[in-house]
Every structure is written in C-alpha cells, then in structure tokens.
C-alpha cells in the first residue's frame, strides 16, 4: 500500500491533491500553490490596512509572481540589486527602489543613461553619492534618484547593546539631514525617499517553537524597540523633509506590516516573504501565512524500513547557520531530517513515523526556510490551484538571471 492510498491519515488529502496536480512531472520540482499565494497577498493587504505595500522582490524572484502580487494590490518594487532593478525596468516595471547600496559602476552608468526616472538607489554615505555622480558625469543622463537608508536598530543602555541588522551608519535626525544636504548639493542626484528597515522586528519571529521564555523576551525587545523607533523615525523624516521633499518613507517587512503601517511618518511598508510563507515565518503571533512555496523531492532509496532517502534537498537558507535555516519536510506528516546528515547536497534521509510508508518513487514535499532563495534552485515553478496544475513560469534563474 503506497502512502497516498492511506486515507485514514489527516494529511493525505493535501498530499493527494499535490500528487494529483503534479503526477505527470518528475521531481525535483518547485510548486507555488496559487490559492495560498493569493490568500497571503490578501492577508498582507488586510494587515497593512490601507498603507501601500512595496513588494520585496528578493523574496519572490519570479517575474510572473511579482506581477501577480502587483495585480493583487501591492505597489512598487523593492529590488535587491541595481542590475535586477534595471532588468525589471527593461521589462516595463516602474517605481523600483533598490533596497541596498550599490558600488556597481557599470550598472550606475546604465541607470544614468537609462531608466533613471523609474529606479531609485539607496545611499547611506557620501561614497555612494559620489559613485552615482561619477556615473552621470561619464554616461550623461540623470539625475539619479536617491533614497536615504536610516538605521532602525535598538541601542539600549546608551548604545552598549546594539540590537538590529548592521546596516546604515545614519541614525539620528541630524545625520540624516546632513546626508540629505549632500544629495541636494549634487545636481546629478535628486532626493527621492527614505527607508529604515527594522529587521529585528520584521524578520524575527516572536513565537519560537518550544521556547516560550525566548518568545516573551523577543516580544518585550520588539515593543521597547518600537517605542524608541517610532518617534526617532518621525524626527528623522521631519529633519530630512526640511531639506527636500520625500516621495516615500519605507519601513517594515512581512513580520511587522501592521505595526509599521501604524506610524504616521511611514508612507509605505515593504513585504515579500509573506507571499510564499516559508518556515521562518511560522513563528509569529500576529499572523500565519499559508505555505505557498513547496518543493518536491523523489524518494530514491530505503536504507532501512524507517528511513526514506530523497534525492537532493540541501537548500539551506542564508543567515547565521542553524537548524532553523534548514528546509523542513512538509508532507506527508511525520517526517524529520536526520540529525547527522541534515538536508544533503545529493541526498536527504527522512526519518520519523511517516517514513515507513514511503516507497521508492514516492514524492516528499518540503518547505524552504526563506522565500525567494528557493527560486535559485529551480529554473521554473509549477503553478497549482486546487488539484490542478495551471501553469509553469520561469524563476529569475530560469530566465538566466542570477543577481546574488
């Protein structure tokens, strides 16, 4: 009896649905469940409560799904590299903000001479500005639109503790206004917006599984940080607006949408991961995205009765290495990674009560820990709706693009 026939298991309908939708395909494959994707998009918009959401494209990395999210109501793109933004602009996208600084001189020249009214670069120091100025001087065109990146970290105890991502050195209203004046002083540039991303709130789950005390500590940290951040962000925006107008003030991410959207100084929030619903976003109290991005691996051997070994699967997520970065078995239920081998380069042994029923040739469904990185492993994703496969679309990789 194959596992898909064992209807007494509650997970079998979901497993069967995926199996029926993909029965003519050979794994490994990646799948996007469109019902889950659309539900997740609607939930992000509900949480933002009218504040526009700019789509973090690094967390999608597939043009067709970027377009689907924009059609669902997200507005504008937060790109992850300038070459990516130029490529998306070449496909007709507008209102692209590159979320990270660039020192890519060729791309800056292409921007200056190209879609400089549709792409905004990020800067947090005069070196970034000078590189953009040089590009305009060499390539002509411009002005290049610039946004200022402002640190959103929490520095309690007079800065002896620093919580948050190590991003911008610009933190205070005075520092931000000084950098804004540097932009305004350069005719090759134009000040366009401001961004401050609170990674320690938006990207840190406040309900880590099996660790209630840690969860309480994270929630306390996030509350305290927001109390400090909201007035500082407002003061920064006011100080910069005294120098030049700002088209947008961007903040937040999937994990903080409803909280960041409440700040009057913020005109838009960013989000992306919530569309795919990877495992790192299972650990939040305020929302739970439906897993929309899955990948299937074939069971290729049974080293013993209690183990089913799948082909490939070693797709760990970026960040500080730890078990939370590993892919997780999703369906059938009752599978876990082997502690010794983890998710391997060429094989992933799966153990646990669900493994015994798996046969060679069956398929197991896995989830990635992060969102868009999965797309670096597959040329395409298959689109599934209910029990049907309704399409196949290329990932960035499938279009021959690899930006990071």
Write down the least CB distance from residue 191 to ligand PLP, Å.
18
Write down the least CB distance from residue 155 to ligand PLP, Å.
19
Residues found near ligand PLP in the complex (CB under 6 A): 56, 59, 78, 99, 197, 202-203, 253-254, 270-274, 371
Write down the least CB distance from residue 199 to ligand PLP, Å.
6
C-beta of residue 194 within 8 angstroms of C-beta of residue 238: no
Write down the least CB distance from residue 234 to ligand PLP, Å.
19
Nearer to ligand PLP, 168 or 175 (CB): 168
Nearer to ligand PLP, 40 or 348 (CB): 40
Nearer to ligand PLP, 355 or 371 (CB): 371
Residues 157, 159, 162, 164, CA torsion sign: positive
Nearer to ligand PLP, 61 or 109 (CB): 61
DSSP secondary-structure letter at 81?
Answer: S
Nearer to ligand PLP, 116 or 271 (CB): 271
Write down the least CB distance from residue 203 to ligand PLP, Å.
5
- CA distances for 352 relative to 231, 285, 332, angstroms: 50, 28, 11
DSSP secondary-structure letter at 336?
Answer: E
Q: Which two tokens stand for residue 395?
A: 């990932």
Q: Which two tokens stand for residue 332?
A: 């059938």
Nearer to ligand PLP, 22 or 59 (CB): 59
C-beta of residue 17 within 8 angstroms of C-beta of residue 337: no
State the Cα–Cα distance between residues 95 and 107, nearest whole angstrom. 17
C-beta of residue 327 within 8 angstroms of C-beta of residue 61: no
Write down the least CB distance from residue 56 to ligand PLP, Å.
4
C-beta of residue 78 within 8 angstroms of C-beta of residue 372: no
State the Cα–Cα distance between residues 357 and 98, nearest whole angstrom. 48
């Amino acid at each position: 009896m194959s596992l898909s026939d064992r209807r007494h298991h509650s997970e079998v309908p979901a497993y069967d649905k995926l199996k029926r939708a993909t029965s003519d395909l050979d794994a490994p494959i990646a799948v996007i469940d469109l019902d889950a994707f659309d539900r997740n998009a609607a939930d992000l918009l509900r949480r933002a409560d009218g504040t526009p959401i700019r789509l973090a494209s690094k967390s999608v990395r597939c043009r067709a799904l970027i377009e689907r999210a924009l059609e669902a109501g997200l507005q504008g793109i937060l790109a992850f590299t300038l070459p990516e933004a130029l490529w998306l602009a070449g496909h007709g996208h507008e209102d692209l903000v590159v979320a990270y600084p660039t020192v890519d001189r060729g791309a800056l020249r292409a921007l200056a001479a190209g879609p400089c009214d549709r792409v905004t670069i990020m800067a947090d120091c005069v070196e970034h500005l000078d590189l953009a100025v040089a590009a305009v001087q060499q390539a002509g065109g411009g002005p290049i639109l610039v946004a200022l990146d402002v640190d959103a970290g929490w520095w309690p105890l007079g800065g002896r503790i620093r919580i948050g991502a190590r991003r911008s050195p610009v933190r205070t209203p005075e520092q931000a206004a000084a950098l804004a004046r540097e932009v305004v002083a350069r005719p090759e540039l134009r000040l366009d917006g401001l961004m401050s991303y609170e990674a320690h709130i938006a990207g840190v789950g406040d309900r880590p599984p099996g660790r209630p005390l840690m969860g309480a500590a994270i929630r306390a940290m996030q509350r305290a940080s927001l109390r400090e951040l909201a007035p500082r962000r407002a003061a920064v925006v006011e100080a910069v607006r005294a120098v030049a107008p700002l088209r947008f003030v961007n903040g937040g991410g999937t994990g903080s949408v409803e909280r960041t959207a409440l700040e009057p100084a913020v005109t838009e929030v960013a989000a992306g991961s919530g569309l795919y619903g990877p495992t790192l976003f299972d650990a939040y109290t305020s929302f739970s995205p439906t897993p929309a991005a899955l990948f299937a691996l074939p069971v290729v051997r049974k080293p013993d009765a209690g183990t089913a070994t799948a082909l490939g699967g070693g797709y760990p997520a970026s960040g500080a290495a730890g078990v939370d970065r590993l892919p997780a078995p999703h369906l059938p239920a009752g599978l876990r990674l082997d502690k010794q081998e983890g998710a391997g380069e060429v094989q992933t042994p799966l153990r646990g009560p669900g493994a015994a029923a798996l046969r060679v040739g069956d398929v197991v469904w896995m989830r990635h820990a992060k969102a868009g990185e999965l797309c670096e492993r597959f040329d395409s994703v298959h689109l599934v709706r209910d029990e049907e496969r309704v399409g196949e679309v290329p990932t960035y990789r499938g279009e021959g693009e690899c930006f990071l």
